[in-house]
């Protein structure tokens, strides 16, 4: 293989959330919190970034930009950036976002916070599907609005939308906005076209704003296809699509994402109120990802597919009472271990203290997620094996 996904890269002393931020994010604690494991001895399978080196094609583009030696105030002026993004969307999803509709943001989550504030008034509710990435709710809480959760249905590890419940909650006159995750974190579902059409129809009927967070759309199992929500509702302009190279190419720290806003009025509001300077290295990196990163991404997906196959076989053999299904997208394994643990147990704390594994627990995903753990599989296989072994050794004692 051309890229070394098996390489273990030292991340400490880089201000990485992954190595240094777990006390704060997972345990709401400060640096005085102690564990039986030294920080460097943990197997880290929590926050959603990768242990893989960034594609050399992207590093090279950053180096080229560094050589220009000046990093003054920067915005996306050069149309080559839009061309790169449009071609990527066309080749990968057969979708053509319009140039005039594209704005950029220092991340999808900052965009969610901002858009929720622009779109909602104080008595409004925001509809999400649960389990959910917690920042969807945080964005709603930030504006002191109400979150309405529609629980996904689960059968043998496969999640579907409860359309009856979703339609009922969408029809509540206070519901103004739906924040939709496509593909879905943490379940890994790639919503099929007929599912997207049903969500689209319900949102249209109720005149809802719809933010489609598609940050995971490139990280598909081989053979899966992503359909942008905006592609199935081309005439509806109350949709906003968020996409980024950050998750796909391990560039989250560069803080750059695409926001496609077809509605003129909302886009004008964004342009008036958004602080729209960008990091020049981030633009160079993202443009290179879209123009030169395809081979790396596809090789990485192949490696991930093998990690998932390894994980599935391991769980079947060593954790037969767990429920796990290889997700259609994302690098996140969502595993039901409720047969091994009790309802009240703090799972991240249990695994940190007793197995030396940092992972996220169901309680971190808003609702409908008790008894689950989420494991990040974007790591060298040797690390995955070590993490799974530690998890299984602990649960086998129960
Ligand atoms: N949207 C979703 C659905 C995500 O899963 C994440 C990152 C983001 C947005 C972040 O976007 P950004 O602001 O970086 O552009 N998900 C993470 C997760 O599940 N754990 O750690 C990060």
Task: Band the pLDDT of 1: cuts 50, 70, 90.
Answer: low
Structure tokens at 39: 């920080």
What is the structure's pLDDT at 343?
87
Ligand 1 site residues, Cβ closer than 6 angstroms: 47-48, 107-109, 133, 181, 185, 213, 215, 244, 246, 252, 257
All domains of the chain in start order, with CATH: 17-55+295-396 (3.90.1150.10), 71-292 (3.40.640.10)
| 391 pLDDT more than 90 | yes
Residue-wise pLDDT for 106-150, tens only, equals 999 999 999 999 999 999 999 999 999 999 999 999 999 999 999
Q: Residue of the nearest CA to atom 17 in ligand 1?
A: 48
**Percent above pLDDT 70 for the chain:** 100
| 313 pLDDT more than 60 | yes
Whole-number Å distance, alpha carbon 320 to ligand 1 midpoint, is: 30
Task: Band the pLDDT of 158: cuts 50, 70, 90.
Answer: very high
What is the arithmetic mean of pLDDT over 87-104? Answer: 98
CA 159 vs CA 91, 339, 356, 368: distances in Å? 28, 19, 30, 11
Whole-number Å distance, alpha carbon 375 to ligand 1 midpoint, is: 14
Whole-number Å distance, alpha carbon 258 to ligand 1 midpoint, is: 14
Residue-wise pLDDT for 231-252, tens only, equals 999 999 999 999 999 999 999 9
Whole-number Å distance, alpha carbon 397 to ligand 1 midpoint, is: 34
Q: Residues 181, 331, 177, CA angle at the centre, nearest 5°?
A: 10
- Please state, in angstroms and rounded to a whole number, the distance separating the CA atoms of residues 191 and 195: 6
- Closest ligand 1 atom to residue 332 Cα is 19
Among 323, 331, 337, 374, which residue's Cα sits nearest to residue 26?
Answer: 374
Residue-wise pLDDT for 315-337, tens only, equals 999 999 999 999 999 999 999 99
What is the structure's pLDDT at 47?
98
Question: Which residue among 215, 229, 377 is best mutated to probe the pocket of ligand 1, counting the most ligand atoms within 8 A of its Cβ?
Answer: 215
CA 248 vs CA 228, 299, 381, 387: distances in Å? 16, 12, 19, 23
What is the arithmetic mean of pLDDT over 167-189? Answer: 98
**Percent above pLDDT 90 for the chain:** 98
Question: Which residue among 133, 136, 139, 331 is best mutated to probe the pocket of ligand 1, counting the most ligand atoms within 8 A of its Cβ?
Answer: 133
Task: Band the pLDDT of 396: cuts 50, 70, 90.
Answer: very high
What is the arithmetic mean of pLDDT over 336-361? Answer: 97
Structure tokens at 90: 């066309």
Q: What is the mean pLDDT of the chain?
A: 97
> Would you say the C-alpha torsion 186, 189, 195, 201 has a positive or negative sign?
positive
Q: Crossing angle of helices 163-170/193-205, nearest 10°?
A: 20
Whole-number Å distance, alpha carbon 398 to ligand 1 midpoint, is: 33
Whole-number Å distance, alpha carbon 217 to ligand 1 midpoint, is: 12
């Amino acid at each position: 293989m051309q890229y070394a996904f098996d390489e273990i890269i030292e991340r400490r002393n880089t201000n990485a959330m992954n190595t240094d931020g777990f006390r704060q994010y997972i345990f709401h604690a400060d640096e005085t919190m102690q564990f039986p494991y030294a920080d460097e001895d943990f197997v880290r399978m929590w926050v959603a970034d990768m242990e893989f080196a960034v594609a050399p094609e992207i590093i090279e583009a950053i180096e080229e930009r560094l050589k220009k030696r000046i990093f003054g105030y920067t915005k996306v002026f050069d149309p080559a950036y839009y061309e790169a993004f449009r071609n990527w969307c066309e080749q990968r999803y057969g979708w053509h976002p319009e140039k005039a509709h594209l704005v950029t943001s220092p991340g999808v989550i900052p965009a969610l916070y901002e858009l929720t504030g622009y779109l909602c008034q104080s008595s409004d509710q925001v509809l999400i599907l649960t389990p959910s990435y917690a920042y969807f709710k945080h964005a709603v809480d930030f504006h002191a609005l109400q979150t309405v959760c529609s629980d996904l249905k689960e059968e043998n590890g496969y999640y579907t939308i409860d359309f009856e419940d979703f339609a009922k909650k969408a029809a509540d006159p206070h519901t103004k906005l739906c924040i939709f995750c496509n593909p879905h974190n943490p379940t890994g579902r790639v919503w099929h076209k007929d599912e997207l059409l049903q969500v689209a129809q319900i949102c249209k009927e109720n005149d809802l704003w719809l933010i489609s967070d598609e940050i995971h759309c490139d990280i598909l199992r081989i053979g899966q296809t992503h359909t942008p929500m905006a592609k199935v509702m081309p005439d509806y302009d109350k949709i906003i699509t968020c996409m980024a190279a950050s998750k796909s190419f391990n560039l989250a720290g560069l803080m750059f994402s695409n926001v496609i806003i077809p509605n003129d009025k909302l886009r004008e509001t964004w342009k008036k109120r958004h602080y729209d300077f960008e990091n020049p290295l981030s633009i160079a990196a993202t443009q290179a990802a879209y123009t030169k990163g395809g081979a790396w991404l596809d090789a990485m997906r192949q490696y991930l597919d093998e990690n998932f196959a390894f994980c599935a076989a391991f769980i079947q053999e060593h954790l037969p009472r767990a429920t796990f299904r290889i997700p259609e997208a994302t690098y996140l394994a969502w595993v039901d271990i409720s047969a091994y643990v009790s309802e009240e147990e703090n799972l991240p704390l249990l695994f940190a203290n007793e197995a030396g594994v940092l992972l996220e627990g169901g309680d971190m995903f808003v609702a409908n997620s008790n008894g689950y753990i989420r494991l990040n599989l974007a790591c060298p296989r040797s690390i995955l094996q070590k993490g799974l072994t530690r998890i299984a050794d602990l649960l086998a004692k129960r």
